[in-house]
Amino acid sequence: MKFSFASRVSKMPPFSVRPDRRAQRRESWISLAEELPAEELFPLAQLGEAAGAVFSAGPLALQYGDVAGSLALRQWLHSRWQKDQKLVVDPADILLTSGSQQTIDLLVRIYVNHGDVVLIESPAPPGCLQVLHLQGAHVIHVECDRDGMRPEELERLIAQHQPKLLFVSPNFGNPTGRAWTLERRKAVLELCRKHELLIAEDDAYGDLHFGSEPVRSFRRRYPSLFQLDRELGGNHVLYIGSFSKTIVPALRIGWAAGDPQLIEVLSAAKQTADWQSSTMNQAILLRLLQSPRFDWDSHITMLNREYDIRLKLMLELLKRPNWRGTEVEVPVGGMFLWAHLPEELDGEQLLERALAKGVSFLPGRRCYADGQGSSYIRLNFTHPGREELLLGMNLISEAIAEMRG
Amino acid sequence: MKFSFASRVSKMPPFSVRPDRRAQRRESWISLAEELPAEELFPLAQLGEAAGAVFSAGPLALQYGDVAGSLALRQWLHSRWQKDQKLVVDPADILLTSGSQQTIDLLVRIYVNHGDVVLIESPAPPGCLQVLHLQGAHVIHVECDRDGMRPEELERLIAQHQPKLLFVSPNFGNPTGRAWTLERRKAVLELCRKHELLIAEDDAYGDLHFGSEPVRSFRRRYPSLFQLDRELGGNHVLYIGSFSKTIVPALRIGWAAGDPQLIEVLSAAKQTADWQSSTMNQAILLRLLQSPRFDWDSHITMLNREYDIRLKLMLELLKRPNWRGTEVEVPVGGMFLWAHLPEELDGEQLLERALAKGVSFLPGRRCYADGQGSSYIRLNFTHPGREELLLGMNLISEAIAEMRG
């Protein structure tokens, strides 16, 4: 038979935003394209111990559980917010999900009708754009600069389009790795409060911050919009968190925090989508977080130190002659370097050449809903090791040299 | 701010189809309402060993993986089908999901437009109805009897409504526990082939079969519509499988198998929804299935023997005086007993009285899209132990006696 797919399928982007899936299967390929943490930095032994303890404790952790997810894990999140940022979030206002991608998908399903306008940072995370396309949203980018979203642009677009939702990542943008200034955070929040515009704040990269200042202290100087809004008694922000970049992706654990009504409807959508996330995985994570052998702060500090080394290496490599004319902005956090190609070379064309050499990256156009970004590329520096980084960057630079003539 | 939810939210059923969620938190409550396997029958020790082996094997199982899921686990499914039923399914035509609920949700998202007619068994699984409501489908029930779906009714409804999709569970219906006769399977398949109507065949309960005949032999006599269609060279059936009822729910592993094009679009939707299911959990399950200490057939035989004992106890209890006039059909498989209340008592009213006594069940109306089923109730016999079953059934029968006056 011939299949007659729903009309929304035609809005779906090509099968994968990750062009190197097939490529990866060939061991000789190097990927600077994906959003992967470094597996050699996973707390593997401690996680193994935590899993052992969960299986020893009896079968209940393997049964179906509550749609909201482990109460104890939600209490851990509550405690950490309270301790680190003096932010009070009732565990009942937290929903555990299978990661930030699922949280975004659930939110868009319950909040956005086909054709509704959704505003988003410029450039934007490809996974979020994918969700918005599938749901038939009318996506409009809000201009950003190094300080964050530009409030006057946001105000103009709110007036013009009456948007339903605004997606932001003040700590730290994917693909840019930018952190917004406090002034921009306050100005954007104020506008959304004034116009009753719901903000979805994706903080999945928020703990990956480079430089000498500890994350906790950085977060106090640059609070999330969620925190700023809560301190004003507001309910305008849905906070989106994840353990995929800080602990391990395969636990598939993220969370949403916000207004109780929003969390209740999100929970109903979550139940419809897959009943609940794994109680087993939540129990393993909780054991890890509560283990005397694991210290959250030290783990994050270790990750950031290592990622900072990889970032610095990538920045050094970009100074080599073949890259001349390439402009980059040093990221403050996250996993990516956002590079503007010399002479406005086309990122998709460069990718084709690079793939032929055995290396991949993300062409910048995938970070826009409207075809912009063709002369940008996104380079991941967290997953490749030193040798891979050296070789991968070298192969891309060769492809650039070829394109130039 | 006041939230302005998407219009589909108004189509969502009340927060939970499982009325006893809150109730369950009080230890004194007994639930005959849910779709839970018996946790005391989980292969806990073997799963613990499998998890230990996975963590010892290095960090890759904790990294992001392929959206389609573990190739080795898909190969295991391929081999089992080939060995048990001489059915050949390419691993590339299988997508691993987080359970049958997610598979159903993904399918409806890619295949059903708002307002499209979807046909479904009568009565139907509540979780499937929940998905169809959220997606705005126009749900129409097809009359069924003890032999399965009635082909003449199906043909009439196809002609009248040009439906997009047909949901069926020939092995074994939720809530009825029926198995369709071979004639009905062939007749329904033939109609769908003739009219190019896509069939979604939910086989999540297919391994839970009672009686002396082994599941494998029963499956050979009563093949899935998927198998019958494949043997005719067709692509009209999407098969929906799950490990939640046979191994443990908290692995959150199910799968879809079908036409490559359908699987490809489902995979894209899966990626949008949550990137992928847990590679870690898939690796643990695979280790279990491949372990010399675990035998699939013996495990299933043990489960079915134990569930059969619980079913027989429930059937015995239904002979007690307070239940007089209650009509039940002995289920051939699955997890539920579908009971017609005496004197057409109302299931929702009975639930209120039962909850006051400390016991819950599923009112039959939740198994229909159109308000039918008010004098039916669905009783789960797999989760409660002997004492709970005795007490729970007794409390419900008391509530019935009270309603009768």
Percent of chain A with pLDDT over 70: 96
Residue-level pLDDT at B90:
97
CA distance B73 to A309: 37
Look at residue A168 and tell me if it is in a domain.
yes
pLDDT score, position B28: 60
Closest CA to A369 of A118, A160, A144: A118
Domain count across chain B: 2
- Closest chain A residue to B104, measured at CA: A273
Residue B200 is inside which H or E element, if any? Answer: strand B198-202
- DSSP reduced 3-state for A49: helix
Predicted-assembly ipTM surpassing the 0.90 threshold: yes
Reported confidence tier of residue A402, pLDDT bands at 50, 70, 90 = very high
- Tell me: do B62 and B24 sit in the same domain: no
Average pLDDT over residues A260-282: 96
**Domain C-terminal end among B290, B325, B352:** B290
| Mean pLDDT rounded to a whole number for chain A | 94
CB distance A69 to A277 below 8 Å:
yes
**Candidates B7, B16, B55, partner chain A, best to mutate (most A CBs within 10 A):** B55
Q: pLDDT per residue over B136-186, tens digit each?
A: 999 999 999 999 999 999 999 999 999 999 999 999 999 999 999 999 999
pLDDT score recorded for residue A10: 84
Q: Quick check: A283 pLDDT over 80?
A: yes
Structure tokens at A111: 């909040």
Which of B290, B317, B352 is the last residue in one of the domains? B290
Is there a domain that residue A343 lies in?
yes
Alpha helices, DSSP H only, in B115-232? 126-134, 151-161, 182-195, 215-221, 225-231
pLDDT at position A11: 79
Q: How far is CA A178 from CA A122, A147, A166, A174, A332, in A?
A: 12, 8, 17, 8, 6
Please tell me whether residues B27 and B75 are part of one structural domain.
Answer: no
Contacts of A5 in chain B (CB under 8 A): 110-111, 265
Across the interface, whether the CB atoms of B249 and A63 are under 8 A apart is answered yes
Q: How far apart are CA B256 and CA B102, in angstroms?
A: 10
Tens-place pLDDT, residues B262-292: 999 999 999 999 999 999 999 999 999 999 9
CB contact burial B356-387 (16+ within 10 A = b; e otherwise): ebebbbbbbbbbbbeeebbbbbbbbbbbbeee
The Cα–Cα gap between A393 and A28 comes to 15
Q: What is the CATH number of the domain that holds A173?
A: 3.40.640.10
Among chain B residues, the shortest Cα distance to A108 is held by B6
| B219 and B251 assigned to the same domain | yes
Residue B1 lies in a domain: no
In a domain, B128, yes or no: yes
Distance CA A314, CA A383 (A): 12
Give yes or no: residues A137 and A198 share one domain: yes
Model confidence band, residue A400 (pLDDT cutoffs 50, 70, 90): very high
Instruction: Identify the helix (H) or strand (E) that includes residue A39.
Output: none
Is residue A2, in this structure, part of any structural domain at all? no
Instruction: State the Cα–Cα distance between residues B73 and B290, nearest whole angstrom.
Output: 10
Q: Averaged over B220-241, what is the pLDDT? A: 97
Widest distance between CA atoms in chain A:
66
Assigned token pair, A201: 């704040």
Q: Would you say residue A110 has pLDDT above 50?
A: yes
To the nearest whole Å, the CA of B217 is away from the closest chain A CA by 29
In tens, the pLDDT along A150-200 reads 999 999 999 999 999 999 999 999 999 999 999 999 999 999 999 999 999
Tell whether B18 and B61 lie within a shared domain: no
Rounded to the nearest angstrom, the gap between the alpha carbon of residue B245 and the centroid of all alpha carbons in its chain is 9
- The span from the CA of B286 to the CA of B110, in Å, is 29
Does residue A301 sit in the same domain as residue A184?
no
The reply to whether residue A63 touches residue B164, judged by beta carbons under 8 angstroms, is: no
Name every chain A residue with its beta carbon within 8 A of the beta carbon of B158.
none
Q: What is the dihedral sign for C-alpha B132, B96, B249, A283?
A: negative
Task: Determine the average pLDDT of the residues in B213-222.
Answer: 94
Q: How far is A198 from chain B (nearest CA, A)?
A: 8
Of B256, B290, B324, which residue sits at a domain end? B290
The reported pLDDT for the residue numbered A392 is 97
Q: What is the CATH number of the domain that holds A329?
A: 3.90.1150.10
CB B379 within 8 A of CB B345: no
Mean pLDDT in residue range B315-342? 96
Please state, in angstroms and rounded to a whole number, the distance separating the CA atoms of residues A293 and A8: 48
**pLDDT above 80 (res B92):** yes
pLDDT score of B319 more than 90? yes
Do A304 and A362 belong to one domain?
A: yes
Residue with tokens 């949203």: A137
Higher pLDDT, B343 or B175: B175
Same domain, A279 and A312: no
Query: Which residues form the domain of A11?
Result: 7-42+297-404
Q: Tell me which chain A residues have a C-beta less than 8 angstroms from the C-beta of B65.
A: 250
The 10s digit of each residue's pLDDT in A18-68 is 444 444 454 568 999 999 999 999 999 999 999 999 999 999 999 999 999
A238 in the same domain as A131:
yes
Please tell me the predicted confidence (pLDDT) of residue B22.
47
Enter the tokens of residue B149.
Answer: 């779906």
Q: Which residues pair with A254 in a beta bridge?
A: A97, A242
Check: CB of residue B106 under 8 Å from CB of residue B255: no
Judge whether A1 lies within some domain: no
Please check whether residue A388 lies inside any domain of the structure: yes
Find all residues with CB under 8 Å of A43, minimum gap 6, and list them: A247, A248, A288, A294, A299
Q: A347-357 vs A386-404: helix axis angle to the nearest 10?
A: 120
- The tokens describing A208, both together, are 């990956």
Average pLDDT over all residues of chain B: 94
pLDDT exceeding 70 applies to what percent of chain B?
A: 96
Is the same domain home to A51 and A178?
Answer: yes
Q: Is B241 within a domain?
A: yes
Assign B120 to helix, strand or coil: strand
In whole angstroms, give the CA distance from residue A377 to residue A379. Answer: 6
In this prediction, residue B19 carries a pLDDT of 41
Do B246 and B165 share a structural domain? yes
pLDDT above 90 coverage of chain A, percent: 93
Per-residue confidence (pLDDT) for residue B197, from 0 to 100: 98
Tell me which chain A residues have a C-beta less than 8 angstroms from the C-beta of B58: 44
CB pair distance less than 8 Å for A109 and B6? yes
* pLDDT score, position A20: 43
Q: Is the pLDDT of residue B79 over 90?
A: yes
- Element housing A14 (H / E): none
Residues B143 and B218 in one domain: yes
